[in-house]
Amino acid sequence: MTATFTPPELRKVLDVLSSSAVIRLITEIDDNGPIPPRRLTGTLPDLSPHQLRQATETARAHGLVQVLPGLGMDLTTSGSALADVYDTAARWARRHSYPTPVCDFTSRLQHTLALLTPLLAVEGLPHGDAIVELALLRAALVQWLTTNPGVALRCELGSVA
């Protein structure tokens, strides 16, 4: 990871990325192309005018969308890359039934981003094969703890040995 965020900075970034209105705006444009002028309300009718205004202002301020003359609101390169991240996160969440087997797209993304937050806060997080091996190590440790529940109980009681 090239950028290091403090926990409060990371929380702010993830609050923006996890906003249901921002998720809806980004994924709508990614799936269906630019939103023509004055068609935002008709395109996302379940969002209030306040939510739409806030989402578009936030997305513009963070360089995720731009208004193209004659076309309307479209994704920037950064917004398109974020849409790819959303798609990847949603695919992972669906494959693993996270957070539940039946869940809407936006909730899946919000829960998955929340799940990733602690990992993003760690500097020097491994990547590639190292992260896969770390996941295998975690699975082995969970299995060991499951088959040796007395260890956790002894730790809670403060005994060492």
What is the Cα Rg of the chain in Å? 20
Helix axes 105-120, 20-32, angle to 10 degrees: 110
pLDDT in tens, 19-37: 999 999 999 999 999 999 8
- For the chain, give every domain's residue range: 7-120, 126-161
Residue 10: predicted pLDDT: 76
**Whether the predicted model's global pTM rises above the 0.85 cut:** no
> 7-120 is classed in which CATH architecture?
Orthogonal Bundle (1.10)
104-128 pLDDT, tens digit per residue, is: 999 999 998 888 777 666 665 556 6
Mean pLDDT, the chain, whole residue set:
83
